[in-house]
Chain A
């Protein structure tokens, strides 16, 4: 009650104070109220930077325009950084340039060396850095509010800035620790299977409520008041902990959602700090990145027919090892094929659709696969690739790997564009995918993947299914009827080795 009342009384003051500080200190954060008014050109420069960032994303609407889009992003960033450096009295430009150089070289080297199969880890690692930078900036703003132009006439941090900083530090910290866990899981340093703490929902909700409560208390407590300093640090620490707790129960194949979600968080963290600095470039970027990550999470959830809440609650795939219908899967008859069979059948075929999945990435089979496709095309076979939105460990993962292997992007199709073609296709060639071709998603209401959009590979005349062994089931832990169909031949081997053998057999 008291808290609400205090906020209500303060509110008109907040806006008045914010307006005053904007007039005097302005968005370029000149310190104190007595600084010279900031030229509107500075605000304009940040706005232009923001527009360039919009153009950067716009460019990605097609591969042809994407490269110029990326350049726009670089220009926008250069404008933002140079404007900041030029409009501030900087005592230690050397130190700053050294810091940029260290980070820049490290980033550049990593970007050059990283393997394309490791992209999900890299993106998770980059997210963690954005989160950590947001935390550090929020802490710096809290320690030195004058520099950020967020003090009111009495030398107190503005109430609205407190909310922004509190949210900024919390979201930043969650992004950091969550991304670190995501990185460890994707990189294989930590098991991909969900880690379930007893009572985790209660713990998580409790910690989240505590963070929000502390931000509220911090917002209304005066500077230097009892415990004010500890409060901000406690918000930071608890947010680190909740980021950790939120991601550990989420399993490997749900990582596309997690990575997208953390992408979104890193945007909101940047936006929150943009509010603190009244900086349009940061606000526009934060909003863009925030919505981008949110949309990607939505697309991923939809492609698995799962709600966002159920993904975040975690634990999916944990029951897999206890093997739902263990007895049934051993007894059913299936046919084993060989590399020669596959080579022969595909050479005779008119059309082949390749369905790659995460297993292809693990086996690094994309180059051999493209070689196989090239040989088939030489024989006059039409070859297409079909990619499920959640194939791989991040959105678009398979597309990048195929592009790396020089597969032209106009041979690669999305689920809804190609699914109707399976019924007229001679061969469906499944490599490293499983759940995304499981017909149980269409028919079996009791299946955990029921309702998930899947490829109709069962309609193809012949199915080749590369799998390491008959024992393992997909991530969802469900048996796949495609294994046992009359027209299916199982190719049991390492994906890369099998494809290479097929290539050899196609050779003569």
Chain B
């Protein structure tokens, strides 16, 4: 992919993000932050690429360290979001 294609995806995604986030109900802003935290750890892809290559051992260990941090965030972020969302309940109508 050339730079302009990538840039196009980025710009379009910014607009998608803008409209999607405005539609998030304010009551769920804390879970929103937790889940954005989890998904921004998709940076683990870069960490995996770095740690898979054995050419530079330093780069490999930096990559592995990044994998650990990103994994903390992915598992922690999704789990804590799940925990919070499970607490949002409607009024019971008797």
A288 CB within 8 Å of chain B = yes
The prevalent SS among residues of B at the interface is: helix
Q: A96, B64: Cβ atoms under 8 Å?
A: yes
Q: Find the A residue at minimum CB distance from B55.
A: A144
Q: Kindly state whether residue A269 has any CB partner on chain B within 8 Å.
A: yes
CB distance from B92 to the nearest CB of A (A): 7
The CA-CA distance from A102 to B49 in the complex, in Å, is 18
* A66, CB-defined interface residue at 8 Å: yes
Q: Are the CB atoms of B83 and A91 closer together than 8 Å? A: no
The chain B residue sitting closest to A389, CB to CB, is B26
In the assembled complex, which residues on chain A have CB atoms less than 8 Å from the CB atom of B71? 99-104, 106-107
Residues of A within 8 Å of B39, CB to CB, are 53, 56, 73, 76-77, 285, 288-289
Q: Which residue of B lies closest to A392 (CB)?
A: B30
B30 adjacent to A103 (CB under 8 Å): no
Q: Produce 1/0 per residue, A264-279, CB < 8 A to B.
A: 0011011101111111
Q: Are A404 and B46 in contact (CB under 8 A)?
A: no
Give the residues in chain A near B50, CB-CB below 8 Å.
Answer: 136-137, 140-141, 144, 147-148
A contact face: mostly helix, strand, loop, or mixed? helix
Instruction: Tell me which residues across on chain B come within 8 A of A96, comparing CB atoms.
Output: 48, 51-52, 64, 67
Chain B 59-89 interface 0/1 with A at a Cβ cutoff of 8 Å (1 = within): 1101111111111111111111111111111
Report the count of interface residues on A (CB-CB < 8 A).
125
Q: Across the interface, do A396 and B44 meet the contact criterion of CB distance under 8 Å?
A: no
> Which A-chain residue is minimally distant from B78 (CB atoms)?
A74
Q: How many angstroms from the CA of A103 to the CA of B77 in the assembled complex?
A: 12
Question: Which residues of B lie under 8 Å from residue A290 when comparing CB positions?
Answer: 14, 17
Check A15–B84 contact: CB distance below 8 A.
Answer: no
Interface residues, chain A, CB within 8 Å of chain B?
A: 14-15, 18-19, 22, 26-27, 29, 31, 43, 49-50, 53-54, 56-58, 60-63, 66-67, 69-70, 73-74, 76-77, 80-81, 84-85, 88-92, 95-96, 99-108, 110-112, 114, 116, 119, 122-123, 126-127, 129-130, 132-134, 136-137, 139-141, 143-144, 146-148, 160, 259-260, 263, 266-267, 269-271, 273-293, 295-296, 299, 387, 389, 394-397, 399-400, 403-404, 406, 408-412, 414
Are A148 and B1 in contact (CB-based, < 8 A)? no
Q: Are A132 and B69 in contact (CB under 8 A)?
A: yes
How many whole Å from B93's CB to the nearest CB in chain A? 10
B18 CB to closest chain A CB, in angstroms?
Answer: 5
When the two chains form their complex, are residues B35 and A60 in contact, meaning their CB atoms are under 8 A apart? yes
Given A54-B13, A146-B53, 5 new contacts (CB under 8 A): A70-B31, A73-B35, A130-B41, A139-B59, A147-B59
Residues of B whose CB lies within 8 Å of any CB of A are 1-4, 6, 9-11, 13-14, 16-18, 20-56, 58-60, 62-92
- Contact, CB under 8 Å: A277 / B49: yes
Q: A396 touching B29 by the CB < 8 A rule?
A: yes
Contacts A61-B25, A389-B26 given: A54-B20 contact, CB under 8 Å? Answer: yes
Find chain A residues with CB under 8 A from B53 CB. 31, 144, 146-147
Cβ contact within 8 Å between B35 and A107: no
Listed A/B pairs (23) with beta-carbon separation below 8 Å: A31-B53, A57-B35, A66-B88, A70-B78, A77-B39, A80-B44, A84-B44, A96-B67, A102-B71, A106-B72, A107-B71, A107-B74, A129-B73, A140-B60, A140-B66, A260-B33, A278-B1, A281-B42, A288-B20, A296-B33, A389-B26, A395-B29, A396-B31
Residues on the A chain within 8 Å of B67, using CB:
96, 99-100, 103
Choose among A43, A139, A263 the residue that contacts B37 (Cβ–Cβ < 8 A): A263
Instruction: List residues of chain A with CB within 8 A of the CB of B30.
Output: 119, 123, 394-397, 399-400
